[in-house]
């Protein structure tokens, strides 16, 4: 087979990865409308800033006696908009985070600075290993429903899952499970001794693989994944909030607070 033929076949196959048989014709008009709204908001912000600046230098009539006190706790939260691992279409989620929490470079996970374990991410899970250490030969598609994934988690070897309980997050119902990683010799960059190499020289203890790109893996021994497995308008999405054995109860409270602030957008 020639280079030309192989390239053509490959590119066609890649293009066929996505289904574009139906597109929403209103999208460009909606986007144009948003552009105008943003432009008007910017004009407003610039004008307001100019007024405030003028007031600060005594050129305007803005009074400073009624200024708000600084440092109100709610003012320290910021909103981060993130993408879902393995979700090919439009849509994502937003969370409110305290200082020190940031979005990763790929725009998917929200994690705490300098912590290898504290993170929140949302997944479209496609394959779960029956054995998280020997995961290459044991990856299985658990099926599409919340119950399917809960069942796969309960059956996974080496990890321990709590009994699933009913949960509602952002108005979407599902199951909540805490999933523990066992005590295990770990070295270097999350290298679990004796586990399969994904091809980069590391030894991963794999949580799951997403529908597209993306592999979740344990960072430390005795890590806990708090899982909200939800049906979001017909899509099974998993909110994964992770912490390690050395993280404090305050850290865990921050994690759950972030998860409780989570809002999905543009799904369904």
Partner 1 sequence: MVSSVDRDVHGDGDRLDRDPDDGDRLEELYVRFAPGGIRLAYLMTGDRGVAEDLVQEAFVRFVGRLHSLRDPNAFEAYLRRTVINLSKNHYRRRAVERADLERQASFPPQIHEERDVSEYEAMRRALLELPARQRAAIVLRYYEDLPEAQMAEVLRCRPATVRSLISRGLAALRQSPEVIR
Instruction: Enumerate binding residues for partner 1 (CB under 8 A).
Output: 3-4, 6-8, 10-15, 17-18, 20-21, 23, 25-29, 31-33, 35-36, 39, 83, 85, 87-92, 104-106, 108-109, 111, 114-117, 119, 121, 189-190, 198-200, 209-210, 213-217, 219, 242
Q: Which is nearer to partner 1, 139 or 158 (CB)?
A: 139
Which helix (H) or strand (E) segment holds residue 191: the answer is strand 191-192
Which helix (H) or strand (E) segment holds residue 59: the answer is none
How many angstroms from the chain centroid is the CA of residue 26?
28
Cα separation, 77 vs 73, whole angstroms: 7
Q: Which is nearer to partner 1, 23 or 250 (CB)?
A: 23
Q: How far is the CB of 1 from partner 1 (least distance, A)?
A: 9
Tokens representing residue 160 in the block: 């321990």
Q: How far is the CB of 187 from partner 1 (least distance, A)?
A: 13
Q: How far is the CB of 21 from partner 1 (least distance, A)?
A: 7
Q: How far is the CB of 59 from partner 1 (least distance, A)?
A: 29
Q: Which is nearer to partner 1, 53 or 213 (CB)?
A: 213
Q: How far is the CB of 87 from partner 1 (least distance, A)?
A: 7
Cα separation, 64 vs 127, whole angstroms: 58
User: Can you name the residues that pair with 129 across neighbouring β-strands?
Assistant: 139
Q: Which is nearer to partner 1, 16 or 166 (CB)?
A: 16
Q: Using CA of residue 196, residue 151, residue 162, residue 113, what is the dihedral sign?
A: positive
Q: Which is nearer to partner 1, 169 or 204 (CB)?
A: 204
Q: How far is the CB of 75 from partner 1 (least distance, A)?
A: 24
Task: Give per-residue burial for 181-214: e unless 16+ CB within 10 Å, then b.
Answer: bbebebeeebbbeebbeeeeeebbbbbbbbbeeb
Using alpha carbons, select from 68, 69, 29, 88 the residue that is nearest to residue 213: 88
Q: Which is nearer to partner 1, 115 or 180 (CB)?
A: 115
Cα dihedral 262→259→179→162 (10° resolution): -100
Q: How far is the CB of 253 from partner 1 (least distance, A)?
A: 19
Cα separation, 209 vs 194, whole angstroms: 20
Cα separation, 104 vs 118, whole angstroms: 12
Q: Which is nearer to partner 1, 127 or 164 (CB)?
A: 127
Q: Which is nearer to partner 1, 9 or 168 (CB)?
A: 9
Q: Give the residue carrying structure tokens 């144009």.
A: 32
Q: How far is the CB of 226 from partner 1 (least distance, A)?
A: 14
């Amino acid at each position: 087979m020639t280079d030309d033929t192989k390239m053509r076949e490959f590119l066609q196959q890649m293009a066929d990865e996505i289904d574009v048989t139906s597109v929403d014709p209103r999208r460009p008009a909606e986007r144009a409308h948003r552009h105008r709204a943003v432009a008007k908001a910017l004009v407003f912000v610039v004008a307001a800033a100019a007024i405030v600046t003028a007031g600060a230098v005594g050129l305007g009539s803005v009074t400073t006696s009624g200024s708000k006190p600084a440092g109100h706790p709610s003012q320290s939260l910021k909103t981060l908009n993130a993408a879902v691992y393995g979700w090919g279409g439009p849509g994502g989620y937003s969370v409110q985070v305290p200082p020190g929490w940031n979005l990763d470079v790929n725009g998917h996970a929200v994690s705490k600075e300098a912590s290898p374990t504290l993170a929140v991410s949302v997944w479209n899970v496609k394959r779960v290993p029956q054995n998280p250490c020997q995961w290459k030969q044991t990856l299985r598609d658990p099926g599409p429903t919340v119950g399917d994934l809960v069942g796969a988690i309960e059956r996974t070897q080496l990890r321990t899952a709590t009994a699933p309980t009913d949960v509602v997050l952002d108005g979407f119902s599902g199951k909540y499970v805490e999933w523990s990683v066992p005590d295990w010799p770990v070295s270097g960059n999350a290298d679990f001794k004796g586990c399969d190499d994904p091809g980069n020289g590391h030894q991963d203890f794999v949580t799951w693989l997403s529908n597209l790109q993306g592999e979740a893996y344990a960072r430390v021994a005795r890590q806990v994944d708090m899982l909200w497995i939800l049906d979001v308008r017909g899509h099974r999405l998993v909110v994964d909030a992770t912490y390690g054995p050395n993280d404090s109860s305050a850290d865990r409270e921050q994690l759950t607070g972030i998860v409780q602030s989570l809002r999905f957008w543009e799904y369904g």
